[in-house]
Amino acid sequence: MEIQTEPRAKQPLHIQAEYFLRQLIRQEEYMKGARLPNEVALAEQLNISRNTLRQAINKLVYEGLLVRKKKYGTTVAMQKVSGDARKWMSFSQEMKCLGMTVQNFELHVSKKSVPEDAATFFGVAPDSRLVCLERLRGQPGQPFVYFISYFNPEIPITSDEDFTKPLYEQLEQNYGVRVKTSKEMISAMAADSVLAEKFEINEGDPILVRKRFVLDGNGMPVEYNVGYYRADCFTYSIEFVNE
């Protein structure tokens, strides 16, 4: 970008630099994780001092738009997905509300033994093997959530489904199953070697875990879902109202 500050302009130089940075980080290469040019090069391009540039950068770091990494440089912060306790949506719906495009990085369908709490939820034997859908998802170039889903065996779902399409829409269209309620549990854990590799983070980095017990309008269990989120990419908001 060929933008320079204008010393005689009405706006202070650090405000002009801030505007330039906001335009710069909207470019695709930086949204995908590229490092910003170093401060010396940027200051020279803008014809300002490094202190003035640093003031603009600090403002965007404070707003959560930029992230400084020691011995690495400054990058654009990943946009967070926000979950709201007052209402629930599928991942595709959450991303759509944020204006973000969904990308599937991995997609596996198999039959697996269900976890104990899933077996209890579905009312099946602990050693039951149910359809299991595993997906590594995120926005283009940035995987940040790994989903593992099990389904009620009474729903004749198979590996032939087109799981690239919104899941709940398919359940309704193909099987007449319309989900209504999601009971959720949120916890935290350290990334193990498997999740660290999938998310391209360090082993031991924080991970948020969201369990969902999804039911239809008649209270029938539909889906047991566990989502592992990069903690720097997901916020869960809760609102309490006194009556």
DSSP string, 180-241: EEEEEEEEEEE--HHHHHHHT--TT-EEEEEEEEEEETTS-EEEEEEEEEEGGGEEEE----
- When pLDDT is cut at 50, 70 and 90, the band that residue 149 belongs to is very high
How far is 118 from 33, CA to CA, in rounded Å?
A: 37
* pLDDT attached to residue 241: 61
Reduced to 3 states (helix: H, G, I; strand: E, B; else coil), residue 125 is coil
How far is 197 from 166, CA to CA, in rounded Å?
A: 26
Please list, residue by residue across 36-69, b when 16 or more beta carbons sit within 10 angstroms of its beta carbon and e when fewer do. beeeeebbebbebeeebbbbbbebbeeeeebeee
How far is 188 from 174, CA to CA, in rounded Å?
A: 35
Mean predicted confidence (pLDDT) in 72-80:
73
pLDDT higher for 193 or 83? Answer: 193
Alpha-carbon dihedral of residues 141, 147, 152, 156, nearest 10 degrees? Answer: 20
* pLDDT attached to residue 69: 75
Phi, psi of 27 (to 5 degrees): -70, 145
Widest CA span in the chain:
76
Q: What is the distance between the terminal CA atoms of the chain, rounded to a whole angstrom?
A: 54
How far is 215 from 177, CA to CA, in rounded Å?
A: 9
pLDDT tens digits, 4-26: 555 555 678 888 888 888 888 88
Answer left, alpha or beta for residue 27, where phi above 0 means left and psi between -120 and 50 means alpha. Answer: beta
Phi, psi of 120 (to 5 degrees): -65, -45
Is residue 221 packed enough to be buried (19+ CB in 10 Å), middle (13-18) or exposed (0-12)? buried
Q: Residue 164 pLDDT > 60, yes or no?
A: yes
Mean predicted confidence (pLDDT) in 167-186:
89
Residue 164 and residue 107 in contact, taking contact as beta carbons nearer than 8 Å:
yes
* pLDDT attached to residue 139: 79
